[in-house]
Chain A
């Protein structure tokens, strides 16, 4: 168990990793990655019951599935700094012959990744399947998943959302990253998602909101509450209100940095706002 300061230091270092990884190859998705840094930190450093090492079947441990695979920088940084593979490997992100592909894949055997994602809208179905495998195996551990808000425009999600409640998949906590932004603008402008809380509730999910999705204590408190609601016959949805680009002032509150890398000067500004804590890769 870590204290809040340790988790904040971890997050700060992850933000540095994200900026440096994306800058080094002049491509990738910093905005959503930065917005979910505290969530990934809380998940891997505090919430998940994990076994040492990596086994694809993940029996006897909690599993996490990333559906919005484009926020791979935060996923890779947190996986590396949680011991799944060497931190130095972050330097290979998006480069030829790397295990750290632009979007996560199992194809190259990167520990910590259990499915490919990138083409949006597929992760909830996979998470449900893994949750059903846990039930068949008598494994009481949980499945966690993360989805972008814009990603919910993909219809497959709603097939999965309907299925999960109908089949009482109550060992699943699906978190929606509610940053309100997508590539072409705000989700309100592109295709308004409406009231997601009432939508999920109409599909008979148990829904919680974490209003401060970039506050580690609030995330831990909210996710602990979510965990307490599992096993009661309903899938659990967490609406995580985040700020895209969080922690780098000029990247915040805009879709502009969804999939754009900072230049040298912008990188320097971003790094200055996030002092090195655990050592750069």
Chain B
């Protein structure tokens, strides 16, 4: 299979920070808002370089979302930053009314999504945010897989008009997306062509999907791997083209299976070409404290879990 090289593991949130630093220099309309998590969101450089365009709102996320909506009136492009839980669940109605329904050009940027936040436990490990955000009409939903892709997505969002949710995380993970790869919102990336099964992964599960594909190759199974960074709008065409060839699907995400990428893929298949699908996702539960690796193993969100799901789905063909 096609080889991908980890050019040096980094956290995706640092990709966001690097993107913001670059945007600060390139686009004077870009402003940033943070709710007492500058270091966690990697806003330090942006704040240092552009203090007049950086808004520290304190621990007041609802106010932050509203201020961001207001800043668009006058042509600013606000990027809000806090943990994924406080970016979505805590402020759902503010996003719904003041951003989405009001069609404001606000970019809601969320770090520490999912189980890989680790030891802080379930209060902070949101596994429902993709569902919450994708249900809002007009909201673009992006979940990036590594440092380079997160940086590219951050840059792309400044040129995209409309409300958007950008989800990334805390852990250091392999960085394999080419630094010069353009980020096209809504366009899936074919990582490996195969014939027996389609693995559709998002976020931190993309690298795990590549590892799974290697393991499957050793077992004589040819896996196609698709990186879905944009969950909404979903690249239906890429999914259907692949499944027409392979005849079965495994979706993989660091999210509840309810409301996540898997359900979006299942809808596309049900409407167009029903085929067996297995879900690598959290089984409708909260997380808990532990190291990211321990949690991803316990909740079956790693490459071994993907391999097992592939073996199950192929039997159902």
How far is the CB of A117 from the nearest CB of chain B, in Å?
7
CB within 8 A of A126: which of B31, B53, B66, B96?
Answer: B66
A156, B64: Cα distance in complex, Å: 10
Residues on A with beta carbons closer than 8 Å to the beta carbon of B94: 122, 125, 156
The docked-state distance in angstroms from the alpha carbon of A65 to that of B74 is 14
- Report yes or no: B98 in contact with A118, Cβ–Cβ below 8 A: no
The answer to whether B63 touches A107 (Cβ under 8 A) is no
For residue A160, CB closer than 8 A to chain B, the reply is yes
A136 touches B74 (CB 8 A): yes
Is the pair A130, B62 in contact by a Cβ cutoff of 8 Å? Answer: no
A130-163 CB mask vs B (1 if < 8 Å, else 0) is: 1111101101000000000000000110011011
A269 within 8 A of B: no
Contact A137-B66, Cβ < 8 Å, known A116-B97, A116-B102, A126-B98: no
Q: Most A CB atoms within 10 A — which of B66, B75, B78?
A: B66
Q: How far is the CA of A132 from the CA of B32 in the complex (A)?
A: 12
Q: Is the CB of B70 within 8 A of A163?
A: no
| Chain A residues within 8 Å of B1, by CB | none
- Whether the pair B70, A57 counts as a contact (CB closer than 8 A) is no
B212 touches A (CB below 8 Å): no
A63 and B98 in contact, given A136-B31, A160-B66, A163-B67 (Cβ under 8 angstroms)? no
Residues of A103-120 contacting chain B, CB below 8 A: 105-107, 114-119
Question: Contact: B97 with A124, CB < 8 Å?
Answer: no
A54 to B70, CA, bound (A): 17
- CA of A137 to CA of B104, assembled, Å: 18
Interface status of B4 (Cβ within 8 A of chain A): no
Contacts of B97 in A (CB 8 A): 116-119, 122
B76: A residues at CB distance < 8 A? 133, 136
Question: Once the chains bind, are B70 and A128 in contact (CB under 8 Å)?
Answer: yes
A contact residues around B98 at 8 Å (CB): 115-116, 122, 125-126
Q: Which of A56, A115, A156 is close to B63, meaning CB atoms less than 8 Å apart? A: A156
Not counting A129-B73, A130-B71, A162-B58, a sample of 18 additional A-B residue pairs whose C-beta atoms are within 8 angstroms of each other reads A58-B74, A107-B102, A114-B73, A116-B98, A122-B93, A123-B66, A125-B62, A125-B70, A125-B94, A128-B70, A129-B71, A131-B70, A133-B71, A136-B31, A156-B94, A159-B62, A160-B67, A163-B67
Q: Can you spell out 10 A-B residue pairs with CB atoms less than 8 angstroms apart?
A: A58-B73, A59-B74, A106-B102, A126-B66, A128-B67, A129-B67, A130-B73, A132-B55, A137-B75, A163-B57
Interface residues of A (CB under 8 A from B): 56-59, 63, 65, 105-107, 114-119, 122-134, 136-137, 139, 155-156, 159-160, 162-163, 166-167
A-binding residues in B (CB < 8 A): 31, 52-53, 55, 57-58, 60, 62-76, 78, 93-94, 96-98, 101-104
